[in-house]
Structure 1
Amino acid sequence: MSRRALTLIVAGFLTLTLAVGGAMLPVPYVVLSPGPTENTLGDIKGKPVINVQGRETFATTGTLSLVTVAYQGGPGNRIGLLTALRGWFDSTIAVVPEETIFPREQSVKEVEEQNTAEMAGSQDTATAAALNQLKVSIEDVVKVSSVDKGTPADGKLLPGDMIVAVDGTPTADPDSVVTAVQKHKPGDKIVFTVDGRSAKTDVPVVAAAAKDGKAVVGVRMGMSYKFPFKVDFSVGDVGGPSAGLMFSLGIYDKLTPGPLTGGKAIAGTGTMKPDGEVGPIGGIEQKMVGARKAGATIFLTPEQNCAAAVGAVPDGLRLVKVQTLDGAIKALDALRTGSGAVPACS
């Protein structure tokens, strides 16, 4: 073999090696793709996605599916350059900078915990919106969102506890709980009256000292709601607040006679406020693809997401613009009966 031929072979081998190595090189991007859909009127592993106890429910048909976005990559599990390049050429996939999903000031665990907390919050808010729509009275309460490990409240106050009083004085909001705690000195016993367990319970906690010397127990709180009956959710490994609209519609459908869907396969997305306002979400393109793959023909789209959705809607999927829960219900009524206006994204 001539020296020139040998040189070309070696150079080609090195080029190929570098190309393969470059393709495997981790890059700080995340691939977003269509995730699973779940019918809020159905079951997951034998458990109802929405389970109402203590109130009459009605049989229904069709689907009201929440949609999700799956991700690949992130700190500690970065994708290779080749995976990112493939994503850039696939219209159903988005490749975004890592910090879009995982802010630099947060760990992966913290992001996942935040998503879990947002999902739990969206379920409470969706329930409140549905019951407000049905004119069912609900009560605002202070709810424990998390308890710091190693603090006095650890193992005593629990996430989901509703703090209805401190030392016998009713609580109006989280600030009132903080004020009641800080009336004490470190080492004092503070009695929290909590609801949301099998029965209303008094829980004594001995306060510790914060860095500023004030009394602290190590509990984080937010405003939530006390409902006149129980609504449980089973959604598997899904996080974030974007299923709020579909949760509210699922609850409303179960609590009202007749199928809201008219038997149609409907999917949608949108955050939900207690007053019924629907808010925008991320990943609309991937969510539409997931909905269509699951058989949906109608997609409830937050008004603020319409512009992006119109340019990427899959064939066979009709976009219905929604601004409020009431508006979504009226649009579904119009679709079912064939009469009335159905707002469209344009």
Structure 2
Amino acid sequence: MSEDRLISNQRRAKSTKGFSWVLALASVALGLSFFVPTNYYITRPGSAIDLAPMIEVEGGKKDETGTFMLTTVRMGEANLAWYVYAQVSPDAELMQKELVVSQGESNEDFVKREQAVMDNSQKLAEAVAFKLAGYDVKVEKQGVWVMGTIDGYPAKKELKIGDVITSVDGVPTPEAKDLLQILSKKKAGDTVLLAYVRDGQEAKTMLTLVTLPESKSVGIGVRPDNKQNIVIPKKVNIASQGIGGPSAGLMMTLEIYDQLKTDADMTKGYRIAGTGTIALDGTVGRIGGINHKVVAADKAGADIFFAPQDTPGADSNYEEALATAKRIGTKMRIVPVKTVNDAVAYLNEQPKKPS
């Protein structure tokens, strides 16, 4: 072997050894990045899930030739690896932790809150669907539902997610607006007597009002919602499979209504996805992460996607959905809806999907 060839082989060996060290260090760094926390949550496209297998209406008919689908967003705490991924992926977003969970709220509390909101959304969907189908629906306002408490504020030590505030100083609070109205007449340092229900048991507690964060108003530090007892004439079973949040309200309403409407198949062979909260009057409300839900629906082969037309202009859910649809080049139709009646009217106008 010549001296030149020997030197060349030695250099090649050193180069290979150096590259191996770099690769090893990079692998270690990548592995460690999964254990480095950040102050962010990451959201990504979830899935589009057929609703018919999840919902069973007593006496209803499942004759759909197509399907209604709810859409989901994957969300979780972002470690350093996910943080870096979100910087380069068009289908991932970062949200500051405080925008997702309340100050001092644990992940367990967050999951509880999301599940409670889903339960409420299911009841609203049932009420709206039965009203659409011509049935009598009774709605009893039960009080102010505690959806979360703020760390460092009076309610944190006394109230839990799921509690229902029924009165303040003996004055009934059938809705969240009633609680806010009563407290708006008081000042920081005032003490109030709250009556509430927890797990079916009545209880009372004294709380001292404080000035709320980023606000001049006073309060006790809760995330309020309306708790209602909705009575419908038939039984509905909804297996939500651990999915949380209120955004499936519209699509659950359509599935329940279609099962009640036994004389016609509303889907007409189409795969219909969408999103949006539902109110008792049938209004469809704004949701978060609609861009991810459009991607999920497209991957599931949806033909139609209902998007809330919540505000006029470029900031609406509908416009955001349109922009995402254009970015990914989907053939799926993005349809704006302000109410559930808009969605029903659109489907009624469609011809049957060609075989």
Quick check: TM above 0.5? yes
Q: How many residues align?
A: 303
What is the identity, as a one-letter code, of the residue corresponding to 2:61?
A: F
Kindly report the root-mean-square deviation, in angstroms, between the aligned alpha carbons of the 2 structures: 4.6
- In structure 1, the partner of 2:43 is 32
- In structure 1, the partner of 2:239 is 234
SS at 2:344 equivalent: helix
What is the identity, as a one-letter code, of the residue corresponding to 1:94?
A: A
- In structure 1, the partner of 2:85 is 84
Q: Would the aligned equivalents of 2:305 and 2:334 in 1 still touch at CA under 8 Å?
A: yes
Matches of residues 1-346 of structure 1 in structure 2 within 5 Å? 12=19, 15-24=22-31, 25-26=33-34, 28=38, 29-43=40-54, 49=55, 51-53=56-58, 56-61=59-64, 62-74=66-78, 78-80=79-81, 84=85, 88-89=88-89, 91=90, 93-99=91-97, 102-103=100-101, 105-109=103-107, 110-135=109-134, 136-143=136-143, 145=145, 172-173=174-175, 205=203, 207=204, 209-210=206-207, 222-229=225-232, 230-257=235-262, 258-303=264-309, 304=316, 305-306=318-319, 307-336=322-351
- In structure 1, the partner of 2:150 is none
SS at 1:236 equivalent: coil
Kindly state the Cα deviation for residue 144 of structure 1 after the two structures are TM-superposed. 7.0
Per-residue Cα deviation, 1:67-126 (whole angstroms, up to 9, x for no partner): 10123544xxx25269616x724x4x2132453764572544233233222212222232
**Any gaps of 5 or more consecutive residues in structure 1?**
44-48, 180-187, 213-218, 339-346
Q: Distance in 2 between matches of 1:97 and 1:193?
A: 34
Range moving further from structure 2, 278-287 or 93-102: 93-102
Q: Would the aligned equivalents of 2:303 and 2:333 in 1 still touch at CA under 8 Å?
A: yes
Cα gap change, 1:104 to 1:324, in 2 (>3 Å)? closer
Cα gap change, 1:144 to 1:233, in 2 (>3 Å)? farther
Q: Would the aligned equivalents of 2:146 and 2:165 in 1 still touch at CA under 8 Å?
A: no
Q: Distance in 2 between matches of 1:97 and 1:21?
A: 27
Cα gap change, 1:250 to 1:96, in 2 (>3 Å)? same
Kindly state the Cα deviation for residue 170 of structure 1 after the two structures are TM-superposed. 8.4
SS at 2:231 equivalent: coil
What is the identity, as a one-letter code, of the residue corresponding to 2:127?
A: A
Q: Distance in 2 between matches of 1:41 and 1:262?
A: 14
Q: Would the aligned equivalents of 1:140 and 1:223 in 2 still touch at CA under 8 Å?
A: no
**Any gaps of 5 or more consecutive residues in structure 2?**
1-5, 148-154, 183-192, 210-221, 310-315
What is the identity, as a one-letter code, of the residue corresponding to 1:244?
A: G
Q: Distance in 2 between matches of 1:97 and 1:39?
A: 28
Q: Would the aligned equivalents of 1:125 and 1:273 in 2 still touch at CA under 8 Å?
A: yes
Q: Would the aligned equivalents of 2:114 and 2:245 in 1 still touch at CA under 8 Å?
A: yes
State TM-score, norm by structure 1.
0.66
- In structure 2, the partner of 1:182 is none
Per-residue Cα deviation, 1:217-265 (whole angstroms, up to 9, x for no partner): xx99743433332434211121111111101111211222221111322
Q: Would the aligned equivalents of 1:285 and 1:312 in 2 still touch at CA under 8 Å?
A: no
- In structure 1, the partner of 2:188 is none
Q: Distance in 2 between matches of 1:297 and 1:276?
A: 23
SS at 1:23 equivalent: helix
Q: Distance in 2 between matches of 1:227 and 1:31?
A: 35
Kindly state the Cα deviation for residue 23 of structure 1 after the two structures are TM-superposed. 3.1
Q: Would the aligned equivalents of 2:284 and 2:308 in 1 still touch at CA under 8 Å?
A: yes
Q: Distance in 2 between matches of 1:101 and 1:193?
A: 28
Q: Distance in 1 between matches of 2:270 and 2:127?
A: 25
Q: Would the aligned equivalents of 1:67 and 1:268 in 2 still touch at CA under 8 Å?
A: yes
Q: Distance in 2 between matches of 1:191 and 1:320?
A: 45
What is the identity, as a one-letter code, of the residue corresponding to 1:331?
A: Y
SS at 1:41 equivalent: coil
SS at 2:226 equivalent: strand
Kindly state the Cα deviation for residue 267 of structure 1 after the two structures are TM-superposed. 1.0
Q: Report the identity percentage.
A: 26
Q: Distance in 1 between matches of 2:94 and 2:88?
A: 10
Per-residue Cα deviation, 1:269-299 (whole angstroms, up to 9, x for no partner): 1122222221222222322232233232211
Cα gap change, 1:160 to 1:60, in 2 (>3 Å)? farther
Per-residue Cα deviation, 1:178-224 (whole angstroms, up to 9, x for no partner): 99xxxxxxxx9x99999xx9xxx9x665x455468xxxxxx997434
Cα gap change, 1:103 to 1:210, in 2 (>3 Å)? closer
